[in-house]
Structure 1
Amino acid sequence: MRITGDQRRRRLVAHQLALGVDRPGLPAARSPEDVTRRLVALHATDAPSVHLAVLARVPGLTLDDVRDALFERRDLVRVLGMRRTMFVVRREMVPVVHAGAATAVAGRLRARLLKELATLPTDPPVADPEALLAAAEYQVHAALVEHGPLDGAQLSRAAPLLRTAFLPTTDKAWDVRRTMTSPLLAVLSAEGSVVRGEPRGAWTSPRHVWELMTDWFPDGIPALDEDAARVELARAWLEAFGPATVADLKWWTGWNLGQARRAVAALDVREVEVEVGAPGADVQVADGVMLRSTDLDGLGPAGPADDVAQGHAALLPTLDPTTMGWTARDWYLGPHRPLLFDSAGNAGATVWWQGRVVGAWTARPDGEVVWRLLEDVGPEGEAAVAAEAARIGALLGGVGFTPGYVTPLYRELRA
């Protein structure tokens, strides 16, 4: 069975973008929790992206709705997980992500930090890396118990061993003095000891406070078997992102190929061919899989999913989970990668029309939403993009933001 590029794009709109629309067997998302459930995880490395990813998908939701889900109800939790990336996931998915991805990440981060402490020059010199790390962890825990939530600067004052510094070893501009604060907090986050709480200042601020994970999960993160957690994570991803290739799953999770294949083999899937080439280009096909329960009815022209895709425009943020959902992206990205991704492969904010990327956008400091199209989408498409930009701009309330990842087209829009 072959899944065409058109079918994949229609499914993408119905299952990932137009989430505020009721469909047969798929009720509309009503909350930030619903949006996150449908997408498995929201990228959270860039501070504004979580809020903007939700607002892009469900008209009627606000910035306050996202804040409440994160920090009042605590139904959504920031975790360091797949690919050593920061995500927001539903509370019930935290154990799955922790066992299925974060535990392995934590092991690598701890080993790297210990190696750096043992091999790089430090101030003060470190005689016993493992003893230093254990003492620093104790100080962090004690500081959070005594003082409650603290941001990184406050925590480094309350836990002085965090100020242990790595010294430059070259004359490169990027090789500067850096303290142990960030790498150790990353280790503790991946291990599930601490969690990022509410940011200081505006919703766009990257300056989050740190809290003990036991403040969120009093008994700690529930333990799951790693293999079982990987199977569940693969199932959730295929439900949201399938049909897709095992290579896509491997990339998204950060697993090795063997782990990805074993997780898929434990699921009830069917093998398919998926078109991975750009719209209008020569057909390129790859071996793929999808859950046997996947409903592909109505994905043809004039079907229910096509009704949703027709006329649908979206403005997605930097590192949006849909833009970053697959490693093979030509089927929705087309030829636009050089302008819309930075040199490290991070996606900027994108404009979508009927399930494919057609441009970029940003919000200037005064909250004005500006965009640029990279291809002709016709009068209907331009009007839909303009209407969506006006809707997002109204939700921002005159407040702009600066993304953490700068793409070539973003520089032009910001000028």
Structure 2
Amino acid sequence: MAAMYSEFADGDWSSLRSARMSRQRLVGEPFASPVDAVERLTAVQAQEYVDAGWALSQRSEGTPTASEIEALVARGEILRTHVLRPTWHFVRPSDVRWMLELTGPRIVRTMASAWRANGLDDAHERAQVNDAVGEVLDGGEHLTRKQLAERLEARGIDTTKRITFITLAAELDRVAISGAPQGKQQTFAAFDDRVPASDPLDHDEAVARLAERYLRGHGPATPHDLAWWGGLTVADARRGYEAAGAVPYELEGLTYYEIDGLDTPSPSDSGSSTSETGGLGSHLLPPYDEYLISYKNRQAVDASEDYTREPIEGLFFWGLAVDDGRVVGGWKWSRPTRKADPASATLTLLTDTTSAVRDRFAAQAERFSRYLGTPVELTMEAPR
């Protein structure tokens, strides 16, 4: 695992873990709602839809359910689109336009080979396809990818093996965005129907806004962290911190930035005191959770020097078991094959743990059960 995050370095990262977990409301007073969570975090990686909803639920008052979060997406209070990096994110409607204007062109450039392979590198072809997508979605349509492909084929647009890239291009070019889900299917709707109009920002203004928002939701962080998370150059990240009035400080040989005077809730601000939860508590975070994915340097969470067994292959793509802010294992869950059966979850621990820690993970599994709206049967595998 160490190589996946960084080479392990001796040092005291406890203050950084505490600040970040508090800022992201994994400890301390939770956000009032998932909408507030997305607002403060600015963008939440969401390629795994149900797991991404769990990331919002954990940070919100009352552990909102998956169906409640889906209802927010259906109403357009939270949107899901490709922004920052070429992957899905949950974003607030008021933030989509300026963020895509800033990061969209860079995402397009990074995917040059994909556009060439699908004929979307040709400006005339791309415009023709986008026009057709806009026409199909006109009038308030919310269509699944399959439905959209059928409508485009009827207009003479070849979608064979390239509908995924057609919808991605339409998102990046601000033609389409997520609509109301149909069952388990993502839909697409007209961009302007779901995203309010707003005055454009110039590049430097947008970078400064993104830098400030990132630190408020994720800080403290280095310029390289922001560059990774926001799809920016490191030079832009440094300029963004400066324009946002961020203050640098040194920790274990690295320069971190923070918004001066920013009020960060302390872990003891929540209903569960640190004595009840054990430091920063224990969490079952979903794959690609912002606590991990939003930083390029992740050595602060690395517990590999304490591992008593070999790291799990591909651990970074698992859900991560975090105790006191450090990754101590991985977990996976699966839906039941029969509706009457419970969902199953397996937690593989990589460190020796106390019964109190295991009890806290069991409590998190119960919380996950409430989120899913179905019982969850948890199996814990001890280090071997």
Shared fold by TM > 0.5? yes
1:261 aligns with 2:224: no
Q: CA deviation at 1:231?
A: 0.8
1:355 aligns with 2:325: yes
Distance 2:256 2:128 in 1: 48
Q: How many residues align?
A: 353
Q: CA deviation at 1:296?
A: 7.0
The 3 A distance-change label for structure 1 pair 375 and 117 is closer
After the TM superposition, list the runs of 4 or more consecutive aligned residues in structure 1 that deviate by more than 6 angstroms: 296-300
Aligned equivalent of 2:116:
115
| 8 Å Cα contact 1:324-1:347 kept in structure 2 | no
Q: CA deviation at 1:101?
A: 1.5
| 8 Å Cα contact 1:318-1:350 kept in structure 2 | yes
Aligned equivalent of 2:303:
334
Q: CA deviation at 1:66?
A: 0.9
Q: CA deviation at 1:334?
A: 2.6
| 8 Å Cα contact 1:317-1:348 kept in structure 2 | yes
* 1:89-168 paired onto structure 2 within 5 Å: 89-106=91-108, 109=111, 112=113, 115-116=116-117, 129-145=122-138, 148-160=141-153, 161-165=156-160
- Secondary structure of the structure 2 residue equivalent to 1:351: strand
Q: CA deviation at 1:394?
A: 3.6
Distance 1:63 1:193 in 2: 28
Aligned equivalent of 1:323:
292
Distance 1:233 1:152 in 2: 31
The 3 A distance-change label for structure 1 pair 38 and 138 is closer
Aligned equivalent of 2:187:
209
Aligned equivalent of 1:310:
279
Distance 1:104 1:389 in 2: 39
Q: Which runs of 5+ in 1 are unaligned?
A: 23-27, 119-125, 166-178, 276-284, 401-409
| 8 Å Cα contact 1:243-1:288 kept in structure 2 | yes
Give the partner amino acid of 2:20: L
Distance 2:210 2:318 in 1: 26
1:293 aligns with 2:269: no
- Secondary structure of the structure 1 residue equivalent to 2:85: helix
- Secondary structure of the structure 2 residue equivalent to 1:239: helix
Distance 1:148 1:364 in 2: 32
The 3 A distance-change label for structure 1 pair 234 and 218 is closer
1:6 aligns with 2:14: yes
Give the partner amino acid of 2:284: L
| 8 Å Cα contact 2:25-2:31 kept in structure 1 | no
Distance 1:249 1:369 in 2: 33
Aligned equivalent of 1:88:
90
The 3 A distance-change label for structure 1 pair 68 and 145 is same
Distance 2:189 2:221 in 1: 37
1:188 is aligned, of 170, 183, 188, to 170
Aligned equivalent of 1:243:
220
What is the TM-score when the length of structure 1 is the normalising length?
0.75
Distance 1:297 1:33 in 2: 19
Q: CA deviation at 1:117?
A: 5.2
Give the partner amino acid of 2:190: L
The 3 A distance-change label for structure 1 pair 356 and 102 is same
Give the partner amino acid of 2:206: A
1:15 aligns with 2:33: no
The 3 A distance-change label for structure 1 pair 339 and 40 is farther
- Secondary structure of the structure 2 residue equivalent to 1:368: strand
Q: Residue deviations 1:112-169, cap 9 Å, x none? A: 4553356xxxxxxx9x94433332222222222268121111111111244355xxxx
The 3 A distance-change label for structure 1 pair 291 and 320 is same
- Secondary structure of the structure 1 residue equivalent to 2:256: strand
- Secondary structure of the structure 1 residue equivalent to 2:314: coil
Distance 1:398 1:306 in 2: 29
- RMSD, matched Cα: 3.3
Distance 2:265 2:129 in 1: 56
Distance 2:278 2:41 in 1: 17
The 3 A distance-change label for structure 1 pair 48 and 328 is same
Aligned equivalent of 1:390:
366
Q: CA deviation at 1:386?
A: 1.0
